């Protein structure tokens, strides 16, 4: 089977690494890829958000299966163009990708599906939004409706912050994404993520994870794309997982099908857990990054069969072979991230590290220059390990971190603290 993966972050390196382990994979191309991916697969360069460009590439290279990593090509309708051309593809249609691309859409689906989530109001003008905040009081959460690269959510602990956020959003801080605003009830509790494959009708849970969004130890400081993650997430007990599937996931899948926009791909449910009950914070229509890295390490080569079954509508007779172990990934980022950071510093020591089914350094923002690996982004490496226990996985990951010689980088030393 010839396979194309779209994307070039740590998530796609982990997907490529897992897919490659499956004997069904004859040829693997990743676009655009990165320096780590180029060590295990071919990399190609074309506009991955342009459906026609992707379809041309697929036809010229006799690709049998396309796996779409990030949300941007999905929200741009790349999966639709590929399906129109008769190509097997993993990832939702543009219509179904609204579950990530529009907060209002997701809230409407939750209401129709009777899925537990925060109460909300939806606004297209600042005055009405402000009146709602004054009526509800703080804490309260203000969200730009559209995709805002994870920055469109303000959790306001006081009214003033919420009112400022409304002015910012309608003032154009998030461009078109902020032209509509959702204001939500603040939910207290512990956050965790649940990843579920969906084939339009049937589901197959893939695993749970928790990430660390804040840049500083003890979960302090600015928000980031994620500074590390671990799987499984102990807060998502078997009972909570089965409640979530029954009360949130299946009703969502059924509602999407009823609206003529069946969901096919991975559904990433961000959940808030309090007193043994989960409520939906958000959906994403792709794997989390870095959560994907720990999921892939625990699932290995079977991932290809699972994604293919989702794409072919066969999840009802597909089983996952569950690992009972733990995995941890530590993100190494360029100093300054998530603020301004330098690119181009050399990373040494990688070739001395173990690379096997229990230890992998997945690359995010890296590139090759003069035979060296250099940093080319904010989040640069995802140092990933598994173990019988979370502690063992974490010790192995930090042992690898200590073998990396990159003075211009940093990481948090406390990934997994909540679960330990
Ligand atoms: P979202 O992009 O919707 O996931 O929001 C980003 C982050 O904001 C979430 O991961 C939560 O930490 C926080 N958040 C979003 N909505 C709420 C809410 N209703 N109550 C409390 N925290 C929230
Ligand atoms: N790590 C959070 C995300 O991928 O959205």
pLDDT, one tens digit per residue, over 311-327 is 999 999 999 888 899 99
To which H or E segment does residue 396 belong? helix 390-402
201 — pLDDT class (breaks 50, 70, 90):
very high
Question: For all residues of the chain together, what is the average pLDDT?
Answer: 95
Residue 188 Cα: closest atom of ligand 1: 21
Write 52-61 long-range contacts (CB < 8 A, 24+).
Answer: 52/81, 54/6, 54/78, 54/81, 54/82, 55/81, 55/82, 55/85, 55/87, 57/4, 57/31, 58/4, 58/82, 58/85, 58/87, 59/85, 61/2, 61/4, 61/29
DSSP percent split of the chain into helix, strand, coil, nearest 5: 35, 30, 35
Residue pLDDT, tens place only, 403-413: 999 999 999 99
- CB within 8 Å of 314: residues ≥ 6 apart: 199
CB 55 within 8 A of CB 89: no
Res 38: pLDDT:
97
Res 148: pLDDT:
73
Q: Quick one: which of 175, 223, 219, 151 has its CA closest to 379?
A: 223
Pick the CATH number of 2-93 from 3.30.930.10, 3.40.50.720, 3.40.50.20, 3.50.50.60: 3.40.50.20
Specify the residue with its C-alpha closest to ligand 2, atom 4: 288
CATH H superfamily, domain 125-179: ATP-grasp fold, A domain (3.30.1490.20)
**Parallel, antiparallel or unpaired: strands 2-7 and 65-68:** parallel
**Parallel, antiparallel or unpaired: strands 228-231 and 359-363:** unpaired
Q: How many whole angstroms from 188 Cα to the centroid of ligand 1? A: 10
The stretch 201-222 carries a mean pLDDT of 96
- Given CATH 3.30.470.20, say whether it is the number of domain 326-410: no
- Domain limits of the chain? 2-93, 125-179, 190-317, 326-410
**Ligand having the closest approach to the CA of 271:** 1
Q: Is the pLDDT of residue 172 over 80?
A: no
Q: How many whole angstroms from 229 Cα to the centroid of ligand 2? A: 10
> Ligand 1: which of 106, 136, 141, 284 to mutate, most ligand atoms within 8 Å of CB?
141
Q: Quick one: which of 318, 116, 72 has its CA closest to 201?
A: 318
Res 150: pLDDT:
65
- CB within 8 Å of 21: residues ≥ 6 apart: 300, 301, 357
State whether residue 69 is helix, strand or coil: coil
Specify the residue with its C-alpha closest to ligand 1, atom 7: 153
Angle at which helices 291-299 and 10-20 pack, to 10 degrees?
10
> Ligand 1: which of 136, 182, 282 to mutate, most ligand atoms within 8 Å of CB?
282
Q: How many whole angstroms from 155 Cα to the centroid of ligand 1? A: 7
Place of tokens 């509602």: 255
> Ligand 2: which of 148, 211, 215, 412 to mutate, most ligand atoms within 8 Å of CB?
211
Task: Using only the alpha carbons of the chain, give its radius of gyration.
Answer: 21
Q: Is the pLDDT of residue 195 over 90?
A: yes
112 — pLDDT class (breaks 50, 70, 90):
very high
How many other β-carbons are positioned within 10 Å of the β-carbon of residue 183?
25
Residue pLDDT, tens place only, 118-136: 999 999 999 999 999 999 9
Res 178: pLDDT:
60
Res 330: pLDDT:
98
Residue 186 Cα: closest atom of ligand 1: 20
Q: Where are the beta strands (DSSP E) in 201-320?
A: 203-211, 214-216, 220-223, 228-231, 264-274, 277-284
- CB within 8 Å of 390: residues ≥ 6 apart: 230, 326, 328, 416, 419, 420
Q: Is the pLDDT of residue 368 over 70?
A: yes
**Ligand having the closest approach to the CA of 228:** 2
For 146, counting Cβ atoms within 10 Å of its Cβ (0-12 exposed, 13-18 middle, 19+ buried), the class is buried
Q: How many whole angstroms from 131 Cα to the centroid of ligand 2? A: 32
pTM above 0.85, yes or no: yes
Q: How many whole angstroms from 146 Cα to the centroid of ligand 2? A: 16
Pick the CATH number of 190-317 from 3.30.1380.10, 2.60.40.10, 3.30.470.20, 3.30.2010.10: 3.30.470.20
Specify the residue with its C-alpha closest to ligand 2, atom 5: 288
Q: Is the pLDDT of residue 80 over 90?
A: yes
The stretch 360-377 carries a mean pLDDT of 96
Res 191: pLDDT:
95
């Amino acid at each position: 089977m010839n396979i194309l993966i779209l994307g070039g972050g740590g998530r796609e390196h982990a997907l490529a690494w897992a897919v490659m382990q499956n004997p069904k994979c004859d040829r693997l191309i990743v676009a655009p890829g990165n320096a780590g991916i180029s060590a295990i697969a071919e990399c190609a360069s074309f506009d991955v958000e342009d459906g026609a460009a992707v379809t041309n590439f697929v036809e010229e290279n006799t690709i049998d299966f396309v796996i779409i990593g990030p949300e941007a090509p999905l929200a741009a309708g790349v999966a639709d163009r590929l399906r129109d051309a008769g190509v097997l593809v993993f990832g939702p249609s543009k219509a179904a990708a609204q579950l990530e691309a529009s907060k209002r859409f997701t809230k409407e689906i939750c209401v129709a599906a009777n899925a537990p989530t925060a109460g909300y109001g939806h606004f297209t003008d600042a005055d009405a939004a402000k009146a709602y905040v004054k009526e509800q009081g703080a804490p309260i959460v203000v969200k730009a409706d559209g995709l805002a690269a994870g920055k469109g959510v303000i959790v306001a602990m006081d009214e003033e912050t919420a009112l400022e956020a409304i002015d910012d959003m309608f003032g154009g801080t998030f461009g078109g994404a902020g032209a509509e605003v959702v204001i939500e009830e603040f939910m207290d509790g512990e956050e965790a993520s649940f990843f579920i494959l969906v084939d339009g009708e049937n589901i197959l849970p893939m695993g749970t994870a928790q990430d660390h969004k804040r840049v500083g130890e003890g979960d302090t400081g600015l928000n980031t794309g994620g500074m590390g993650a671990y799987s499984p997430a102990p807060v998502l007990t078997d009972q909570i997982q089965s409640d979530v599937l029954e009360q949130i996931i299946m009703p969502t899948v059924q509602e999407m099908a009823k609206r003529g926009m069946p969901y096919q791909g991975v559904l990433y449910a961000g959940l808030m857990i309090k007193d043994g009950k989960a409520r939906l914070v958000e959906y994403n229509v792709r794997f989390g990054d870095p959560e994907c890295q720990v999921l892939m390490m625990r699932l290995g080569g079977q991932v290809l069969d699972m994604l293919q079954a989702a794409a072919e509508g066969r999840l009802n007779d597909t089983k996952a072979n569950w690992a009972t172990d733990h995995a941890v990934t530590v993100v190494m980022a360029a100093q300054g991230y998530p603020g301004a950071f330098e690119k181009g510093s050399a990373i040494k020591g990688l070739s001395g590290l173990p690379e096997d089914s229990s230890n992998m350094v997945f690359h995010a923002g890296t590139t090759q220059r003069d035979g060296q690996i250099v940093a080319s982004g904010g989040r640069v490496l995802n140092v990933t390990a598994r173990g019988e226990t979370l502690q063992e996985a974490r010790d192995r990951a930090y042992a690898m971190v200590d073998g990396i010689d990159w003075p211009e980088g940093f990481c948090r030393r406390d990934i997994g603290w909540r679960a330990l």
